[in-house]
Amino acid sequence: RFNMKQQRSYLFLAPGFEEIEALATVDVLRRAGMEVCTVAVNNGSISVKGAHGVSVEADILDSDADFSDAEWLICPGGMPGATNLAESPVVTNALKEQFSRGGKIAAICASPAIVLEPLGILAGKSATCYPGMEGYIKSADTVNTPVVAHDSLITGNGPASTIGFALAIVRNSMGEDVAKETGTAMLFYPDTSKFYF
């Protein structure tokens, strides 16, 4: 059903990542037919332990990744996962380059505030983040809603919003029909008028 050449997207996994936000996003995107690769940001170890002790084996190491043709770069939240992403030169350089070429970026929970804001990626836009972290965001209008979707920037507020966050990425890349088909097959029926900004 897809007649386009699928670009690869990348989701970063650093120690302390929020497991639901990372794994459910990968799951939903793959269900929709998108190619998404998980990247270990973990000092050369492919196995990364999440915030709640769940260890995940990433697809590739950050040192082996080439983000030059990425469709999406995706940052799950979690603490200290978001801080570890923000402190990774590989991640921050990839995000800055993606942003400078108008590429697509998605972040959820703590990551909009901790990872994207310091890089100037949120400037002049509206965004959401984990409640209580809005104070870190000075350059954007923070919105109290589960998901905020722009053409090349999608933010989400936390674990319970992950499927909606992921479906917003699917909607952007694959279209409304694929997003609805994917969500319906998962028994996910959001009232989109309330869910998205």
Q: Residue 77 and residue 81: Cα distance in Å, rounded?
A: 6
Cβ proximity of 35 and 7 under 8 Å: yes
pTM of the model: 0.94
* Residue 170 CB contacts under 8 Å (≥ 6 apart), including other chains: 28, 29, 32, 34, 178, 179, 182
Asked which of 45-54, 79-88, 112-121, 184-193 is least confident by mean pLDDT, the reply is 184-193
Give the model's pLDDT for residue 152. 97
Take residue 167 and report the two structure tokens written for it: 């479906």
Residue 101 phi, psi dihedral angles, 5° rounding: -95, 10
- In angstroms, the CA 144 to CA 131 distance is 8
Beta bridge partners of 9: 36
Cβ–Cβ under 8 Å, residues 21 and 86? no
Query: How confident is the model over 133-144, as a mean pLDDT?
Result: 95
Residue 156: predicted pLDDT: 98
The pLDDT value recorded for residue 98 is 98
Amino acid at position 53, single letter: G
Mean pLDDT value of segment 127-150: 96
What is the distance between the alpha carbons of residues 10 and 40, in angstroms, rounded to a whole number?
Answer: 10
Residue the block writes with tokens 């979690």: 78
pLDDT at 51: 97
| Arithmetic mean of pLDDT, 58-78 | 97
pLDDT at 191: 59
Q: How many CA atoms lie within 13 A of 158 on its CB side?
A: 9
In the residue annotation, 37 being an active-site residue is answered as no
Q: What pLDDT does residue 190 have?
A: 63
Residue 123 Cα to chain centre, angstroms: 18
- Residue from 37, 75, 109, 129 carrying the catalytic annotation: 109
List CB contacts of 29: < 8 A, sequence separation 6 or more: 9, 36, 166, 169, 170
Q: Report helix angle 176-185 to 19-31, nearest 10.
A: 120
